[in-house]
């Protein structure tokens, strides 16, 4: 399920590139601390009094892969991987709340350092591993093949424009690391010109029947899910799972069922305007 280490420093991928990386800083308003990459765009956040909960709505939706887990008692035996650390909200939640084997891939060492010092990210240990490297390269390493049950992709640069990695080849690498019943969740900007291209690339790799999409948040974030094995649970089964997830992990899953639909039921891949805002 991947090479975990007990070292305190993030593991560095041997294929890490050295691009020009933005300055990392943060701000706070008394209740929430925000991560920035040299701009006003929020790259992540943390409640100061609840550091292991998820503050941003769209980031909570990135946990919707749990709806496709038949038995929540099996979650601690699963492997969750995040591409893009952000403020480490997903990484901390998976590690602390779900108790999964958790791997995060981050290209910017300053993001890792800031998350460790200011965002309560624990040091690497037997069930938590921060890998320093380019996600596109890390995914191609054979140790990850078919090892990831939940892959959470949130890769934006300091300008927060379109996704940094978004090609069909990249999504093929994502599919290669998923286990048989694995699920990928991706943060996209539903109002951005790249959205339709992203959906077409995912459909090319996973197939349209394997793709589910949330209605965008008010800020425009559209979380998309892609299943390694396309399957559509009955709505009553999804409701029962949502209620169980909400009770155990305090995620608002029941209301998600009103916002999450198979993509083929949401309109054409060429018509992002078919998605309303929630």
Positions marked catalytic? 154
- Those residues whose C-beta lies under 8 Å from the C-beta of residue 27, and which sit 6 or more positions away, are 33, 34, 36
- Those residues whose C-beta lies under 8 Å from the C-beta of residue 218, and which sit 6 or more positions away, are 277, 278
Q: Is 154 helix (H, G, I), strand (E, B) or coil?
A: coil
Supply φ then ψ for residue 24, to 5 degrees. Answer: -105, 130
Signed CA dihedral, 121, 125, 127, 131: sign only: positive
C-alpha dihedral, 193 to 197 to 203 to 205, nearest 10° = -140
Q: Is 140 helix (H, G, I), strand (E, B) or coil?
A: coil
């Amino acid at each position: 399920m991947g090479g975990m280490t007990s070292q305190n420093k993030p593991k560095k991928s041997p294929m890490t590139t050295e691009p020009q990386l933005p300055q990392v800083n943060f701000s706070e308003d008394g209740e929430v601390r925000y991560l920035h990459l040299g701009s006003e765009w929020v790259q992540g956040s943390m409640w100061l009094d609840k550091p292991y909960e998820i503050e941003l709505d769209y980031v909570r939706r990135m946990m919707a892969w749990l709806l496709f887990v038949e038995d929540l008692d099996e979650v601690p035996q699963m492997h969750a991987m995040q591409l893009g650390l952000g403020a480490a909200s997903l990484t901390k939640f998976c590690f602390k709340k779900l108790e999964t084997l958790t791997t995060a891939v981050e290209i910017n060492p300053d993001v890792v350092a800031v998350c460790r010092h200011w965002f309560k990210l624990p040091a690497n240990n037997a069930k938590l591993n921060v890998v320093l490297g380019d996600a596109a390269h890390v995914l191609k390493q054979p140790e990850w093949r078919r090892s990831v049950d939940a892959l959470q992709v949130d890769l934006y640069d300091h300008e927060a424009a379109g996704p940094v990695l978004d090609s069909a080849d990249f999504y093929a690498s994502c599919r290669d690391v998923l286990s048989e019943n694995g699920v990928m969740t991706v943060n996209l900007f539903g109002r951005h010109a790249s959205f339709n291209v992203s959906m077409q690339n995912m459909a090319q790799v996973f197939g349209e029947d394997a793709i589910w999409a949330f209605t965008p948040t008010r800020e425009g974030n559209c979380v998309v899910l892609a299943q390694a094995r396309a399957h559509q649970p009955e709505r009553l089964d999804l409701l029962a799972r949502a209620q169980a997830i909400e009770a155990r992990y305090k995620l608002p899953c029941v209301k998600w069922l009103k916002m999450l639909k198979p993509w083929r039921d949401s309109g054409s891949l060429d018509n992002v305007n078919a998605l309303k805002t929630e």
